[in-house]
Each structure stands twice: as C-alpha cells, then as structure tokens.
Amino acid sequence: MLGPVLLAAARSDAIRRAVSAAPVTRPVVDRFVAGERLDQSLTAVRDLADRGLEVTLDHLGEDITDRSEAVRNRDAYLALAEALAGEGLGERAEMSVKLSAFGQALPGGEDIAYGNVLPVVEAAAQAGTTVTLDMEDHTTVDSTLRILSELRGRFPQTGAVVQSYLFRTEEDCHALAGEGSRVRLVKGAYKEPAEVAHQDKREVDRAYVRCLKILMAGKGYPMIGSHDPRMVAITQELARTAGRKIDSYEFQMLYGIREAEQERLAAAGHRMRVYVPYGTDWYGYFMRRLAERPANLAFFLRSLISR
C-alpha cells in the first residue's frame, strides 16, 4: 500500500529536500548507491570484477528542467567513458542512461536527448563498451524506442529496456527480439495508471514470464533484470529448452540487492551484471527502491529509530 505513496513522493521537491537533509539518510543511501564521485564508481567496478561480476554504471540524474543540466549530464557520461577507457574497464562495465537526464522532457526534447546521447554512445564504442537506454514512465516509451532505433542504425549493440507491467510490452518484445538486439526485461518501477499498466503484482509477474518467453525464443540477447528467484529459475529452464548457450543471455541485479545470489549465479558460469548508480542526484532512485520492497523501507525506518 505504501508503494504508490513513496512513488508519488519520489517526484515531490518538498519531500526531496526533507529526506536529503535528514542526517540518517546517507548510510541507508550508501547501501544502494556506490558513491557520489566517479572514482568511487570505478572502485565499485573493480570490487565487483574481483567477485566475477560485470557492471552497468548509472550516473544518477533524471527529470531535468533546463538544457544546461542535460549538457552537464552528457559531460558526466563522457568523463565516465573516458575513465573506463583509461582504466581498461570497458570490457567489464557498460553504461545505463536515462534520457530524461539528457533533456527528453524539455520542449523539442526528443532531438535534444538524441543530440546529447549520441556522443555518449560514440564515446562508449571507443571505450570498448556500450550503452543501455533505461526505460522511464510510460509517456516516454515511444520517444525512447525511436531514439533507440536511430542509435542502433549506427551502434547496433545499444541496449533497450522493456517493462512487463505495461500492456504494450509483449508487442515491444516481439519487435525487439531480433538478431543482435540487447534487451533488458524488468517489471517496471514507476507509478502507472490502470489504462496502460497492470496494477496487480501477480499480473505483472505473469506478463514478465510471457515477455521472457518471447525474448528467450528470439535471436537477440536478453538481459534479465530481476531479483525474483522465480524469474531466474524460469530463465534457466527456458534457456535449456531453447538450447541457448549460457553466454547468449545475462542476469542483471541492482547494486546492494541479493549480493550472495549475484555471486552464486556468476560462480555457476552465468554472466551476471550489477547495475551501479553513483552521483549526487540519488533521491528519485532511492525512493523507487524503498517503494519496491517493505524490507527496504523497514531498513530505512529502523535506522531512524536506532539513532
């Protein structure tokens, strides 16, 4: 029940200020966010690599309101790509971007976002890595898929994300299941209206399995973004029945969540990629993690009480 309230709070400036200023917030945020600086994110990549894990790095930022912020976010990713190349980490770490941080919601935003993300995708290719376009709320899906299609014309390895809670997603999976197509399947983390999205968690899970079947039967490279043990087991079963090689798909989980399971899957020979967010603009990301799981919220509340 608290989930929708927290998701609404994720978009409130007043609550953002209050939560960000609370001294107890920081240690809880640190569980989900690798740090505020680029060098801290690189340390996380090395630590995870030592444990057999791969990474996708997210420079936190979303919902910007002017063009200069979009340019700053682009530059942060360019610096990241340069650092990955310089440190020889391009094979270990790719990058995840939110187009809202690149100006997608501004007037004329699709062109602005494309103009900002293209140099990042080019820099990623030069660094020996790639970019995945995170998916945000349902109003952005068409625009994000159009930008993806443009980018794939020149950089076919650019990754997409689809969210099983949206009614449209099975169709999107069919469209994105072709040769070479990298697609992360997630359940979806935003507060969406009943006209466009399943509201019942069991329906979201069923839709996830249907999408998984489409992607695993296709010719692309599915990236299973879920901590759900059931989805992990179903993926392994589908891989067996489709005769898929173990390196023709991968699992993805978020930094700080189910770490033992991440290591277990990697040790079993799976490609396991950890989504590592870093940067100062952690509020929206943090609130979505609290909304997802009562245990995450309880952890936060306990830290308030134990002070």
Question: Which of 39, 171, 228, 247 contacts ligand FAD by CB under 6 A?
Answer: 228
Q: Which residue, 151 or 186, has its beta carbon nearer to ligand FAD?
A: 186
Q: Which residue, 61 or 188, has its beta carbon nearer to ligand FAD?
A: 188
**Residue 222, CA distances (Å) to 110, 117, 204, 263, 284 in order:** 26, 22, 18, 20, 26
Rounded to 10 degrees, the C-alpha dihedral 300/302/303/305 comes to 130
Question: Which of 4, 27, 88, 229 contacts ligand FAD by CB under 6 A?
Answer: 229
237 binds ligand FAD (CB under 6 A): no
Question: Which of 157, 226, 235, 262 contacts ligand FAD by CB under 6 A?
Answer: 226
Q: From residue 274 to residue 293, what is the string marking binding to ligand FAD with x (rule CB under 6 A)? A: -x----------------xx
Question: Which of 188, 218, 220, 284 contacts ligand FAD by CB under 6 A?
Answer: 188
| DSSP conformation class of 197 | B
Q: Which residue, 81 or 234, has its beta carbon nearer to ligand FAD?
A: 234
Give dist(CA 288, CA 275) in Å, integer: 14
Q: Which of the ranges 83-91, 148-156, 212-220, 254-262 carries the binding residues for ligand FAD, by CB under 6 A?
A: 254-262
Compute the least distance from the CB of residue 296 to ligand FAD, in Å.
6
Phi and psi at residue 12, to the nearest 5°: -100, 125
Catalytic residue numbers read: 134, 184
2 binds ligand FAD (CB under 6 A): no
Q: Tell me the two tokens of residue 27.
A: 């240690």
Q: CA torsion sign, 156 to 161 to 164 to 166?
A: negative
Among positions 154-173, residues that touch ligand FAD (CB under 6 A) are: 161, 163
Q: CA torsion sign, 254 to 203 to 220 to 269?
A: positive
Compute the least distance from the CB of residue 35 to ligand FAD, in Å.
18
Task: State CA 194 to chain mean position distance.
Answer: 23
Measure CA of the first residue to CA of the last residue in the chain; give whole Å. 26
User: Rounded to the nearest 5 degrees, what angle is found at the Cα of 256, between the Cα atoms of 88 and 127?
Assistant: 20
Q: Which of the ranges 87-95, 236-244, 249-257, 277-285 carries the binding residues for ligand FAD, by CB under 6 A?
A: 249-257
Strand positions, DSSP E, 243-282: 250-254, 272-278
Give dist(CA 33, CA 296) in Å, integer: 14
Question: Which of 48, 123, 135, 151 contacts ligand FAD by CB under 6 A?
Answer: 135
Question: Which of 15, 67, 258, 297 contacts ligand FAD by CB under 6 A?
Answer: 258
Q: Which residues bind ligand FAD (CB under 6 A)?
A: 134-135, 161, 163, 184, 186-190, 225-229, 252-254, 257-258, 275, 292-293
